[in-house]
Structure 1
Amino acid sequence: MTSPQDQSLFARIESRLFDDHRQNSTADATGTHHPHDEHRQQRNVADLMVQCLVQEGVEVIFGIPGEENIPFIEALERDGRIRFVVTRHEQGAGFMALTYAHLTGKPGVCLATLGPGALNLTLPVACANASNTPLVALCAQGNIDRIHKESHQIIDLVSVFRPITRWTNMILSPAAVTETMRKGFSLAQRKRPAATCIILPEDIAEQPAPADAEPLSRAMQVHTVPTPADIESAADIIAKAQHPIILAGNGVSRANADYQLRVLSEQLNAPVATTFEGKGVFSDRHRNALGVVGFMRHDYENFAFDDADLIIAIGFSIQQFDPVKINPRNDKKIIHINTFVEDTDAHYTTTLNIIADIDATLTQLIDALRERSVTFDNAESDIRKLLTSEFESCKDDDAFPMKPQRVVYDTRKALSDSDVALVDTGALKMWMARLYPTYLPNTCIIDNSLSTMGWTLPGAIGASLARHGRPILAVMGDGSFMMNVQEIETAVRLGCHIVILVWVDRAYGLIKWKMELHNGRHDDVDFTNPDFVKLAESFGAHGHLVTSADDLKPAIESAMMADGGVHIIACPVDYRENIKLTDKLGELELNS
């Protein structure tokens, strides 16, 4: 409790501060010269950075203001051409930028202040880097006269971000701005897209920009075509194969090469499997579609790889899943077609690397194989029948909580072919990746490189902006949902139309599943949840609790067809099906 003397002191201080503020305000209002007016009217480094961002085609930045990035925020407002989206956490800002980039193909941009703000960006930045998504992170820093020592909120951000980006740099001179900005965006968009980070100290941001400095022009993308020798070598290897199989990764969607992929498959009559991240690049309606690889060693698709003597890997990177699952004896020839050389792996020893544009490579390879009349006599695989049977196995099952198979089936039936579903990490990812039929690229987006939890809620906001307000479905477990739940406020404030389907089991379901596989029991994975309906309503969103198996599909349809708004659907799920699935697949034998 304060003494009378303390109260008097506080009153005097408050009065003095108010008087000083009133005098400054009066002076400004009457046109009296302010000592900083001249500086404010000059173009500073922050202004020049914003001009560079406009030159790079940036339309939106996601982030949180902080003391040290105030000059940059002010510059954004002065310019007015870039939309700034205020988020509730820097991690949310990064995932919004990442998903925006994934769907547009343009670098996503996120902003944080120094120290703790910048550190909160590290997860989405690392995720973008791992999944080959172009992203540019902008971070503030303290004045350069104190970054060499221990100082309030100072972290060596260059050292922090360098291992998780393609390139990180701190601007230490106004003269370095235009080159740094151009390099940051150029490296993010190379043939292997990645994350970059640009750090701007506060005092540098406020320095005058060089009078003659102008944003550097964006370089035209150069298409790299394969050599005739590469195409001939690939055609020779394919012609000599007995059982080729195509493995398609997310590089196919980046290259917009899904049409060429389908033509190649039909030309050869070769089966196609995709990675989790490649879902949709080959329609699951096609007779040659095998579904996804990456779940476990004995899933249906793996039997097709067991029989294959040649893998044609297109747009694939080994970070998406371990090649040992499809080439355990390292006895298969591999043709690697991508814009970059893959990392070294004992079970991914390539016979031929074609490092060129994927669409151009496939177009020329199709022509070469057509001239040779190379095709294979493959009947429609039993694998498709098994997947379809499992997908439909619980469509009429009324059990509640709902079986995962019924949840996936009803989700698919509630969405159109072109609707976008973002699938979070957890047990639900395994069910959605395996069973959710996907017909178009970038309509079922899964992170299987860093496999980050909690990305889809903020990701849905980025997707909503990228798709100009079309409804977006985010499929999450209750563990993931609570990790970035604060971004519901951002979604409501922005007027996004997103639907969040929460699979409720009150546990970290995937880890529980793996613990039970490991030793038949689980520990320390269970938790409780809030009332999801009331939680949604407290944010100004719409909440719905599924109370029967027949309730889910109409709930999703209603939310997707609504006139906008944020909709949270909580659906209790019975994960006892997890162990039943792995027991079945572990014992599975398939006639080749």
Structure 2
Amino acid sequence: MTIRAADLLVECLIAHHVKRVYCVPGESYLSVLDSLHDQSAVEVVTCRHEGGAGFMALGHARLTGTPGVLMVSRGPGCMNAAIAIHSAQQDACPLVVLVGQAERENLQREAFQHIHYERMFSDMAKWVVEVEHAEQLADTLCTAFYLAQSGTPGPVIISLPEDMLEDHCPHTGVFPRHSQPSTLGALDSDAIVQAISQAERPLIIAGGLLKSDAGKQALLSFAERFSLPVATSVRHADLIPNDHPLFAGHLVYGLPAALKESVTRSDLILAIGTRLGDVTSQSFHFPAAPKAAQTLIHIWPDSTVVSRYRQTDIAVAADPVASLHTLNQATAPAVSATRQDWIASLHRTTVELRDWTPVADQADGVVFGNIMAHADALLPDDAIICLDAGNFGGWVQRQLRFSPTRQLIGPSSGAMGYGVPSAVACSLAQPTRPVVCFVGDGGFMMTGTELATAAQYGATPIVIISDNACYGTIRMHQEKHFPHRPSATALHNPNFAQLAAACGAQTFTVQHSDEFAPALHAALQSKQLCVIVVRTSLNYISPNATIAALQQSGIPA
């Protein structure tokens, strides 16, 4: 029996339990779209821009723990999606990209919209492959899904020549790959327990590979069993309840000085499920590269990552969740009074940083800290918080209390435009849970048209726009280095409420702090697609600084 390649591709998606794919349709993969028409197992979400479709796939992957699937057309379509491919690499997030390609006979003739994808994405993707023969398709797709999830998760790209998709091949079956998670051995386990017993000020730095329910539970059990404070890597503050006495902070961009001073006093670091990248490690200063000031234990499922940039005392190339399960079988050493004081000190610092005294509304708008105080009080414990990139995010990460159920979904890549699409995808994946997106005016204008996608497919996120008419992060850095000389950062914004209403959203406009709580309450009660536009103070540019203060202390131009 033979089968059309496009039909075989869809069978492969179903065999890998893919429930939803995100796309902008293109003529280079019409056969796949035709095959998807005849089945109901895979929902096709048609987006308004390939970047938005890619961010939806990433949001879906981060929330569900399964690979996101993105379909785009050749050339311009794939290049529009490059931002999501880059974010998948930066975030270690599994992403399978199916991209159309020119007909095989024209690949060496500078065909219309042809790109050599392997040359283009070889430094960014884990694997880039072009399927030349239909007989190779099923095996290629199975390999792609395996690679996207194994070792360091990330993006894989499969190029699909248009004419190949219409070829027929023998139907020999689809055979998904399944790997057994590796764990640490007895010697490593004993060495780690010994290091913990000798440390006075140990600290776990927990990362995104613990994002699953099993990972969060294993982390909490390990931290409690061994009395270990937990700091989380950037964008993963939800790995442990932020009210828990062992929570030691969120290692974000521009770490507050008080928290930085506290965590750097540690004498043992257990980095589990994090690559210890640039942001989490504060530009490779904590733990320092190439040699940390602390004893360093690093658990990550890829031997090319552990010890790559730092000398590591115990380097374990193994699955972090499985490793924690092994460690949780060990006998915990006694806890000293010094350790108890250390734990209390770290948590006290995080609590003090979260404390907020309301600031009067300013002439240029609402101080976003006031908004976040209301949001933290009103958002339910099972809310999914999707966060775009920008300075407004500092308020969100400082004041919102996250937990394994009040989840945080955001890009460590710093990619603007992630927020709205990821919120749409999360709402589609978990339709009974409230999904709230925090986004700046700059990020909203990049992918905010995906509100129309939300309306089309019945997604109901609440989108909160911080509108200060500026690319705020860049303006902040300008005032630090070139005070009083802003350039290219001012924005002339549309009426966001009218724009959102045109896309089918219920809208609210907040001009004063006391207007926000009623707006958010109404949005939560409505269970509809909603947009809340907050006129935000530009002067209060971040939780740590005002523009006025930066201008006074900045380096003269």
- Relative to structure 1, the CA distance from residue 306 to residue 208 in structure 2 (aligned partners, 3 Å threshold; closer, same or farther) is closer
The answer on 1:352 being equivalent to 2:314 is yes
Partner of 1:373: 334
Q: Distance in 1 between matches of 2:406 and 2:178?
A: 25
Partner of 1:289: 247
Segments of 5+ residues of structure 1 without an aligned counterpart are 1-40, 586-592
- Relative to structure 1, the CA distance from residue 543 to residue 102 in structure 2 (aligned partners, 3 Å threshold; closer, same or farther) is same
**Percentage of matched positions with identical amino acids:** 25
- The counterpart of 1:418, out of the listed 371, 382, 407, is 382
Partner of 1:548: 512
SS at match of 1:276: coil
Deviations 1:352-404 (A, max 9, x none): 0122232332233244342x435563225445445434433234745562212
Q: Show the 5 A alignment for 1:123-142.
A: 123-142=83-102
Q: Distance in 1 between matches of 2:432 and 2:29?
A: 29
The residue type paired with residue 545 of structure 1 is T
Retained in 1: the 8 A contact 2:28–2:101?
A: yes
The answer on 1:275 being equivalent to 2:233 is yes
Deviations 1:512-548 (A, max 9, x none): 1111112323221001111112111211211211021
Retained in 1: the 8 A contact 2:306–2:316?
A: no
SS at match of 1:368: coil
- The counterpart of 2:295, out of the listed 333, 342, 357, is 333
Partner of 1:75: 35
SS at match of 1:483: helix
Q: Distance in 2 between matches of 1:301 and 1:463?
A: 31
Partner of 2:261: 303
The answer on 1:155 being equivalent to 2:115 is yes
Q: Distance in 1 between matches of 2:169 and 2:157?
A: 21
Shift of 1:126: 1.6
Q: Show the 5 A alignment for 1:12-23.
A: none
- Relative to structure 1, the CA distance from residue 582 to residue 256 in structure 2 (aligned partners, 3 Å threshold; closer, same or farther) is farther
Q: Distance in 2 between matches of 1:295 and 1:159?
A: 32
Q: Distance in 2 between matches of 1:297 and 1:100?
A: 28
Shift of 1:332: 1.1
The residue type paired with residue 306 of structure 1 is T
- The counterpart of 2:186, out of the listed 228, 251, 258, is 228
SS at match of 1:363: helix
Retained in 1: the 8 A contact 2:183–2:326?
A: no
SS at match of 1:502: strand
- The structure whose Rg is larger is 1
Residues matched between the structures, number:
540
- The counterpart of 1:266, out of the listed 224, 229, 249, is 224
- Relative to structure 1, the CA distance from residue 89 to residue 220 in structure 2 (aligned partners, 3 Å threshold; closer, same or farther) is same
Shift of 1:111: 0.6
- Relative to structure 1, the CA distance from residue 310 to residue 198 in structure 2 (aligned partners, 3 Å threshold; closer, same or farther) is same
Q: Distance in 2 between matches of 1:553 and 1:136?
A: 40
Partner of 1:436: 400
Partner of 2:47: 87
- Relative to structure 1, the CA distance from residue 442 to residue 115 in structure 2 (aligned partners, 3 Å threshold; closer, same or farther) is farther
SS at match of 1:85: strand
Partner of 1:18: none
Stretch deviating more after TM superposition (108-117 or 400-409):
400-409
The residue type paired with residue 460 of structure 1 is A
Shift of 1:262: 2.2
SS at match of 1:334: strand
Retained in 2: the 8 A contact 1:398–1:550?
A: no
Stretch deviating more after TM superposition (504-513 or 255-264):
255-264
Q: Distance in 1 between matches of 2:178 and 2:369?
A: 47
Stretch deviating more after TM superposition (258-267 or 144-153):
258-267
Q: Distance in 2 between matches of 1:70 and 1:252?
A: 38
Deviations 1:288-307 (A, max 9, x none): 21221233365222222222
Q: Distance in 1 between matches of 2:24 and 2:287?
A: 46
What is the TM-score of this pair, normalised by structure 2? Answer: 0.91
Shift of 1:462: 0.9
The residue type paired with residue 300 of structure 1 is A
Retained in 2: the 8 A contact 1:294–1:322?
A: no
Shift of 1:223: 2.5
Q: Show the 5 A alignment for 1:7-86.
A: 43-86=3-46
Deviations 1:410-431 (A, max 9, x none): 1211211210111110101222
Deviations 1:157-202 (A, max 9, x none): 2322322211111110111111111111111111322111111111
Q: Distance in 1 between matches of 2:54 and 2:218?
A: 32
Partner of 1:480: 443
Shift of 1:351: 0.6
SS at match of 2:431: coil
- The counterpart of 2:522, out of the listed 558, 561, 564, is 558
- The counterpart of 1:514, out of the listed 467, 477, 490, is 477
Q: Distance in 2 between matches of 1:44 and 1:283?
A: 50
Q: Distance in 2 between matches of 1:226 and 1:350?
A: 15
Segments of 5+ residues of structure 2 without an aligned counterpart are 551-557
- The counterpart of 2:174, out of the listed 211, 215, 219, is 215
- The counterpart of 2:80, out of the listed 101, 115, 120, is 120
Deviations 1:551-584 (A, max 9, x none): 11221121122132x2111101224234772599
Partner of 1:501: 464
Partner of 1:455: 418
Partner of 1:394: 357
Q: Distance in 2 between matches of 1:412 and 1:478?
A: 21
Q: Distance in 2 between matches of 1:383 and 1:444?
A: 22
SS at match of 1:257: helix
SS at match of 1:100: helix
Retained in 2: the 8 A contact 1:276–1:433?
A: no
Retained in 2: the 8 A contact 1:63–1:84?
A: yes
Q: Distance in 2 between matches of 1:473 and 1:189?
A: 27
What is the TM-score of this pair, normalised by structure 1? Answer: 0.86
The answer on 1:529 being equivalent to 2:490 is no
SS at match of 1:125: helix
Q: Distance in 1 between matches of 2:197 and 2:293?
A: 18
The residue type paired with residue 103 of structure 2 is N
Q: Distance in 2 between matches of 1:580 and 1:163?
A: 36
Retained in 2: the 8 A contact 1:248–1:275?
A: yes
The answer on 1:105 being equivalent to 2:68 is no
The residue type paired with residue 169 of structure 2 is A
RMSD: 2.4
Partner of 2:553: none
The residue type paired with residue 351 of structure 1 is D
Deviations 1:417-464 (A, max 9, x none): 21011111010122222332112267122212x210011111111111
Stretch deviating more after TM superposition (475-484 or 295-304):
295-304
SS at match of 2:157: strand
Retained in 2: the 8 A contact 1:109–1:135?
A: yes
Retained in 1: the 8 A contact 2:468–2:535?
A: yes
- The counterpart of 1:471, out of the listed 430, 434, 444, is 434
Deviations 1:14-52 (A, max 9, x none): xxxxxxxxxxxxxxxxxxxxxxxxxxx973111111111
